[in-house]
Structure 1
Amino acid sequence: MQVSRPLYQAKAEFFKTLGHPARIRVLELLSQGEYAVGELLPEVGVEATSLSQQLAVLRRAGLVTSRKEGSQVYYSLTSPQVAELLAVARRILTEVLAGQVELLADLQAASPAPGPSLSS
């Protein structure tokens, strides 16, 4: 009998796939629609070989699909849920950062008034 890996392990692998800035940028762009590789290059800001590697990782993970038309290769998301996941991540980050801004404001408000210098 084959033992399947636990769901939490599969989720960890999934999030590891997302753990690269270029991959996130590619997914954000593809959330807007299909892109040719040549259109992605200036938007992602990496070398062509690096973009190719990142697209291959996303393709193996089943997050993007490709099609060839003439000499052009076009990429798109395999599911609109990928775009939803990125939108949820953005909302979470917004809330976390807003909380940090509030904490910083509280800390600054609670700072003691500057006292006399110890060097005098």
Structure 2
Amino acid sequence: MQVPLYQAKAEFFRMLGHPVRIRVLELLGEGPRQVRDLLADIEIEPSSLSQQLAVLRRAGIVTSHRDGSAVVYTLAGPDVADLMRAARRILTEMLSGRSELAEALRAAEHPATG
């Protein structure tokens, strides 16, 4: 029995639902990174990063290859970077809307006199 598309999408977003994975994808959106560079940028234990990278690799979102003794990770395709940018735009719009609502509420509490 085939999994419905909406269920596959939900599984995809659940897989993305970890802050370290999101940060890794944001960093890889800027270009390939060695594991040591990811560790320096994210500042977590190597075993934790390794676990999160394995989840992303199994999902096919990132790929890795050896460059000498270093392991380099890359996004599997540009769509993931596009998704991270789209999420940033959506969040920015949502937060902007909340800010505008908060300003309107404050203005209603203290109407200008004149």
Report the TM range for the smaller structure's normalisation. over 0.9
Cα drift, residue 44 of structure 1: 1.2
Q: Render the CA deviation track for 1:11-70: whole Å, top value 9, x for unaligned.
A: 011001111111011000100111010010011121100000000000011100000122
What is the aligned partner in structure 2 of residue 4 from structure 1?
2
Q: Which amino acid aligns with 2:60?
A: G
| Structure 1 residue ranges without an equivalent (≥5) | 114-120
- 1:110 is paired with a residue whose SS is helix
Q: Which amino acid aligns with 2:84?
A: L
What is the aligned partner in structure 2 of residue 86 from structure 1?
84
Please, which of 31, 34, 38 is the counterpart of residue 32 of structure 2?
A: 34
What is the aligned partner in structure 2 of residue 73 from structure 1?
71
What is the aligned partner in structure 1 of residue 16 from structure 2?
18
Q: Which amino acid aligns with 2:20?
A: A
CA-based RMSD: 1.1
Please, which of 41, 52, 64 is the counterpart of residue 62 of structure 2?
A: 64
Larger Rg belongs to: 1
Give the number of aligned pairs. Answer: 111
- 1:67 is paired with a residue whose SS is strand
Q: Which amino acid aligns with 1:43?
A: D
Q: Which amino acid aligns with 1:52?
A: S
Percent pairwise identity: 59
Q: Render the CA deviation track for 1:64-89: whole Å, top value 9, x for unaligned.
A: 00001222110000000100000000
Task: Write out the 4+ residue segments of structure 1 that deviate beyond 6 Å after TM superposition.
Answer: none
- 1:25 is paired with a residue whose SS is helix
| Structure 2 residue ranges without an equivalent (≥5) | none
Q: CA separation in 2, counterparts of 1:93 and 1:101?
A: 12
